[in-house]
Homo-oligomer: A and B are copies of this chain.
Amino acid sequence: MTSPPLPHSSHAPGAADPAGPGFRAEDERYVGRLHAGLEDFFAEQRAVLDGISPDALPLLEAVAALSSGGKRLRARLCYWGWRAAGGDPEDPAVALAGAALELFQSAALIHDDVIDRSDTRRGAPSVHRRFEGLHARHGWTLDGPAFGVASAILAGDLCLSWSEQLFARAAAALPGTGRARAVFDLMRSEVMVGQYLDVQGEVAGAGQDREGAVQRALDVIRYKSAKYSVEHPVVLGAALAGAQEPDLERCSAFALPLGEAFQLRDDVLGVFGDPATTGKPAGDDLREGKRTVLVGFVRRRGSEEQIAELEAALGRPDLAEEDVERLRGLITACGALQATEELIDSLSEQAFAALERLDAEPVARAALRALATAAVRRAA
């Protein structure tokens, strides 16, 4: 497995990178150690599951398959937060912490796909669909989709526990890092609460005031995604390396707006992205009725007719590609896409400016700049 290439830092806004391309080799070495750590852990857990019953191995295989993909964004942010705070590149604890973040991400994705009834993830069947397929292949009895959902709930729970096992090992190897434990705990609560606010917004949103729609959508992405995808990994890495306030606050000042920009990019890709690149059908956010910032801007800027058309379509699982195409036109025409892109730009500028104020090793600053650029400019 190899990590996707980072863009050259010369593509990034801000000052020229004094450290040159040196961070790329170090980043790849870290990702290599991360993968080795995950493989060792899966081998260990395979023995545990096999000892209970070989019938349980599909749980491990589903988690391992899902966790073999992805850009490793969270783990790499944690590593470079650690390095920014002066952490030792060779310390195995930071690979364990990164693996914990990646498994937390897998657990969240498994349950998120059940909740959103998503059929695919990273170009492969989602975990509940994978178990539904196992049921069909074996010709088992009763309800295949229900078996798929039950198995995915349990696979997600297992993955959540595994994430925490790995974090506890990292923390045990780095005494005096109680602040990092607090970050890890808060991160998990915030993601689950953010996801709840997301589904609650889907069912309650149409009746709520239009002016507040953009702010509510920003609250959801802050807790559901921005904090755990970007802010908490960077702060966690720095805290594991022993950083204290106010250095941790400076990490947040960089990483939180970056995380918000990252998730807004995700929302734009969820409607306008190329399914061949994102691995998910375009328009699924509309079919699921997600109250994204894009939707919030339509409600603020669109005509009554445009708002009515969007509201009638949101949450309809049967939206055809041509319906989605028409909604794309509407979101563009009323200026909602443009407003969202401007917000991404503004948040990115905040993040890059805060990065320059970070008291960090040059190589870490260069790597964080490159990761930040990739996060907000990506196409997948």
Contacts and interface: CB of A to CB of B under 8 A. Distances in A.
Contacts of A190: 52
A164 interface: yes
A43 interface: no
In the complex, which of the residues A59, A135, A189 has the most CB atoms of chain B within 10 Å of its own CB atom? A189
Interface in A126-185: 135, 138, 140-144, 147, 149-151, 153-158, 160-162, 164-165, 168, 171-172, 178, 181, 185
Given A52-B194, A154-B196, A223-B52, A161 B189 contact: yes
A111 B49 contact: no
Contacts of A197: 52-53, 55-56
A32 interface: no
Given A115-B153, A142-B203, A59 B161 contact: no
B196 A56 contact: yes
A148 to B, nearest CB: 10
Nearest to A200: B55
Contacts of A15: none
Contacts of A115: 149-150, 153-154
A124 interface: no
Interface residues of A, number: 61
Contacts of A168: 168, 171, 181, 185
Contacts of A55: 197, 200
Main secondary structure of the interface of A (DSSP, over half): helix
A164 B162 CA distance: 11
A114 interface: yes
A16 interface: no
Say how many copies of this protein the assembly contains. Answer: 2
Contacts of A45: 189
Contact of A199 (B151, B185, B193, B202): B151
Nearest to A171: B168
Nearest to A227: B52
A150 B199 contact: yes
B49 A154 contact: no
Nearest to A140: B203
A204 interface: yes
A341 interface: no
Given A56-B197, A197-B56, A186 B48 contact: yes
A59 B199 contact: no
Nearest to A223: B52
In the complex, which of the residues A142, A172, A181 has the most CB atoms of chain B within 10 Å of its own CB atom? A142
Nearest 7 pairs between A and B by C-beta? A140-B203, A161-B188, A115-B150, A158-B192, A56-B193, A150-B199, A154-B196
Contacts of A192: 59, 154-155, 157-158, 161
A17 interface: no
A312 B168 CA distance: 48
Interface in A200-220: 200, 202-204, 206-207, 219
A225 interface: no
Contacts of A140: 203-204, 207
A335 B201 CA distance: 54
A296 interface: no
A289 interface: yes
A141 B189 contact: no
